[in-house]
Chains A and B, each alone.
Chain A
Amino acid sequence: MAFLAVMEKEFRMFFRYPLRVVSSVLVGLVFLVQFVYFGQAVLGGRYSSILQASTGVGDYPTYALIGYVLWWVSVSPMEASVWGIRRELQRGTLESNVASPMGLLEMVVSLALSWMLMDSVIMAVVFLTGVIAFGVSLSWFALLKALPIVGLAFLAFLGSGLIFAGLVMIFKNIGPFAQIFEFLVLFISGVFFPLSTLPAWVVSLSKLIPLTHSANAVRKLFVGFPYSSVTGEVAWLLLLTPLYWLASYALFKWAERTARVMGYGGY
């Protein structure tokens, strides 16, 4: 019930301001359009055989659109941790929540999930606009087939993003650092260009990012590959998800204890 209450509150405060919703969609579209046209200019057209050979998806707008939408949603829990908790602090409402039986952990997880779902709504609009604007061929069956992978990816994104919840409680103003991290993820997880173009050590590093595997898997399923073609990606996600959750939980508990020594308000 508390978890639903946090979600309802966040949705209400976000969607109450239509201008805020519209501007979020527009920001999403502006970045997408730039990247897609830039990519097509570099490739010399929308179709690339190199892309097809290395990723299984040769149509660049399809490739970029899926990666981009997933990237946006993947960094939501991180944003919720960094900016959502900070906003609660600025509002003076964090202590009111912490002092309730709900507790901090449930609040932070609910906040991260809320932001991820709100961003999913925004990205659904961006995705459909992208499909229409770039003439991406959309199969509803393929989309449905990708949903289980998207669900698993969401779990992994939540786990990795919550690491920042612990960090923000201790180091307070980590917004700029988080932004660098967000763009690093964008760069090394193969959102706009195939990983095969990057040095081997960066490719190895990218394996630790859940987005790399989820974007690959969703792209493959979207263009008609069977589930058997994404077992590697699913295995990586199944490995990374508990690892990130465990790391997040350990860091969060340490941070929570430290915050109770220093005071929640002392940010």
Chain B
Amino acid sequence: MMPTIKVKDLRKSYPKRIPLPFRRVEWVEALKGISFKVRKGELFGLLGPNGAGKTTTIKILTTLLEPSGGSAKVLGYDVVSQAREVRRRINLVAEGERTLYWRLSAYENLRYFSNIYYVPKDEAEKRIRELLQLVGLWERRNDLVMGFSRGMKQRLAIAKALINDPEVLFLDEPTLGLDVQSALFVREFVERLVKEKRKTVLLTTHHMAEAERLCDRIAIIDHGRIIALNTPENLKRLVSEGETVEIRVRNLRPEKVKEVDGRLAVSEEDPTRGTLLRGNLDEEDLPRVVEGLIRAGAKVLSVERVEPTLEDVFIKLTGRALRD
């Protein structure tokens, strides 16, 4: 069966300055040849730190950017030469909250987007009502978006992205900046879209728990390369059970961590609770590492063996935490 999304050796470089004729311009490589396929009805995640190339990938697949090399097809259509065909069949929830017209109401926003997606009028009216009810904004349909909370705006952005009943939905960091309740709503909504409506979803996130919970398969992306691609369970098997350690310390400068042990990475910095280090350490190495931390001036508050997560996979593969 033909994959819904097929990416082959995709490359993207950005010019540092406007590439005018007769001007020498330096280029920065953002994607260094990534390849993956997404099946119909699959929820596929791109997980990686900021600047890894996730948004660049999504922008190429949604026809907003032109790749520098390789190829990308969505539903069998080339994203460069058949951009219009691709656009009719997909939609996107872009990163950030300002993707809607704040001076229009929720209803007016959806009507505008239904028009620019050429949804027939009768069908559009029906769909707008259904979508606003689905995201819990029907009662607020005539209110201007500028009065909405961040979570309400994101729910409306998702409704907007479904206005053309897309076969493929791209979600770029859909829960970024949302409160816990709104993030939960978005995650459950996305899950339902895939399970009940058989939509294909490509989601980017740097939120590991989100990727682990939602995605059928995950590609971990770093510095423009896919460094691992598998189901969340199989990815976690890359880290042997029982070897993941969390060490909470105080008085340790982050740059000292790698000097103590290259397998450790800073997972969290909290001025009141201290710095949380995470790493994949063998049983016999642990006392030596703790000793090393103390010698480096750290006050060790706790040492704990924990279940491996995708972050541990990332640390194991790159030697860094996702937040770095």
* A16→B145 CA distance, assembly (Å): 14
| Inter-chain pairs besides A93-B100, A263-B59, 10 sampled, C-beta below 8 Å | A91-B98, A93-B98, A99-B63, A100-B87, A100-B113, A100-B117, A103-B87, A261-B14, A261-B15, A263-B14
Which residues in A have some Cβ–Cβ distance to B below 8 Å?
1-2, 4-6, 8-9, 12-13, 16, 91-93, 95-103, 107, 170-171, 257-258, 260-264, 266
In the complex, 27 of the A-B residue pairs with CB atoms within 8 angstroms, ordered by the A residue number, are A2-B115, A8-B112, A9-B112, A13-B101, A13-B104, A91-B98, A92-B98, A93-B98, A93-B101, A95-B92, A96-B92, A97-B116, A99-B62, A99-B87, A100-B116, A101-B87, A101-B116, A107-B116, A170-B18, A257-B66, A258-B18, A260-B65, A262-B15, A263-B14, A263-B59, A263-B65, A266-B14
B141 interfacial by beta-carbon distance below 8 Å: no
> Which of B84, B96, B117 is the most central at the interface, judged by chain A CB atoms within 10 Å of its CB?
B117
Say whether chain B's binding surface is mostly helix, strand, loop, or mixed.
loop
Among A16, A95, A96, A258, contact of B103 (Cβ-Cβ < 8 Å) = A16
> Which of A93, A170, A171, A266 is the most central at the interface, judged by chain B CB atoms within 10 Å of its CB?
A93
Among A4, A5, A98, A170, contact of B64 (Cβ-Cβ < 8 Å) = A98
Minimum CB–CB distance from B303 to chain A (whole Å) comes to 44
Contacting residues, chain A, for B99 (C-beta < 8 A): 92-93, 95-96
* A95→B59 CA distance, assembly (Å): 9
Determine whether the beta carbon of A96 is less than 8 Å from that of B160: yes
Determine whether the beta carbon of A12 is less than 8 Å from that of B108: yes
Determine whether the beta carbon of A91 is less than 8 Å from that of B101: yes
Contacting residues, chain A, for B112 (C-beta < 8 A): 5, 8-9
Contacting residues, chain A, for B91 (C-beta < 8 A): 99
Determine whether the beta carbon of A260 is less than 8 Å from that of B66: yes
Among B15, B97, B102, B115, contact of A5 (Cβ-Cβ < 8 Å) = B115
Closest residue of chain B to A98, judged by CB? B64
Which residues in B have some Cβ–Cβ distance to A below 8 Å?
14-15, 18-19, 59, 62-66, 84, 87-88, 91-92, 94, 96-104, 108, 111-113, 115-118, 160
Contacting residues, chain B, for A107 (C-beta < 8 A): 116
Q: A1-B115, A13-B101 are in contact. Are A92 and B87 (CB under 8 A)?
A: no
Contacting residues, chain B, for A99 (C-beta < 8 A): 62-64, 87, 91-92
Minimum CB–CB distance from B108 to chain A (whole Å) comes to 7
Minimum CB–CB distance from B171 to chain A (whole Å) comes to 13
* A258→B94 CA distance, assembly (Å): 21
Contacting residues, chain B, for A98 (C-beta < 8 A): 64
* A262→B19 CA distance, assembly (Å): 9
* A260→B19 CA distance, assembly (Å): 12
Closest residue of chain A to B97, judged by CB? A92
* A5→B104 CA distance, assembly (Å): 13
Contacting residues, chain B, for A264 (C-beta < 8 A): 64
* A100→B90 CA distance, assembly (Å): 9
Contacting residues, chain A, for B87 (C-beta < 8 A): 99-101, 103
Contacting residues, chain B, for A97 (C-beta < 8 A): 116
* A263→B66 CA distance, assembly (Å): 9
Closest residue of chain B to A254, judged by CB? B21
* A13→B66 CA distance, assembly (Å): 32
Minimum CB–CB distance from B254 to chain A (whole Å) comes to 31
Determine whether the beta carbon of B101 is less than 8 Å from that of A9: yes
Minimum CB–CB distance from B14 to chain A (whole Å) comes to 6
* A223→B66 CA distance, assembly (Å): 55
* A92→B94 CA distance, assembly (Å): 9
Contacting residues, chain B, for A102 (C-beta < 8 A): 116-117
* A136→B118 CA distance, assembly (Å): 47
Contacting residues, chain A, for B15 (C-beta < 8 A): 261-262
* A2→B92 CA distance, assembly (Å): 18
Contacting residues, chain B, for A171 (C-beta < 8 A): 18
* A96→B102 CA distance, assembly (Å): 14
Closest residue of chain B to A103, judged by CB? B84
Minimum CB–CB distance from B215 to chain A (whole Å) comes to 23
Closest residue of chain A to B83, judged by CB? A103
Contacting residues, chain B, for A101 (C-beta < 8 A): 84, 87-88, 116-118
Contacting residues, chain B, for A9 (C-beta < 8 A): 101, 104, 108, 112
Instruction: Give 10 nearest A-B pairs by CB, closest first.
Output: A92-B98, A5-B115, A102-B116, A260-B66, A100-B116, A2-B116, A101-B87, A13-B103, A101-B88, A9-B112
> Which of A96, A100, A101 is the most central at the interface, judged by chain B CB atoms within 10 Å of its CB?
A96
Closest residue of chain A to B103, judged by CB? A13
Minimum CB–CB distance from B99 to chain A (whole Å) comes to 5
* A170→B17 CA distance, assembly (Å): 10
Contacting residues, chain A, for B94 (C-beta < 8 A): 92, 95-96
Minimum CB–CB distance from B319 to chain A (whole Å) comes to 30
Closest residue of chain A to B90, judged by CB? A99
* A9→B96 CA distance, assembly (Å): 22
* A13→B108 CA distance, assembly (Å): 11
Among B64, B97, B104, contact of A95 (Cβ-Cβ < 8 Å) = B64
* A93→B94 CA distance, assembly (Å): 10
Determine whether the beta carbon of A2 is less than 8 Å from that of B113: no
Minimum CB–CB distance from B322 to chain A (whole Å) comes to 23
Closest residue of chain B to A8, judged by CB? B112
Determine whether the beta carbon of B96 is less than 8 Å from that of A263: no
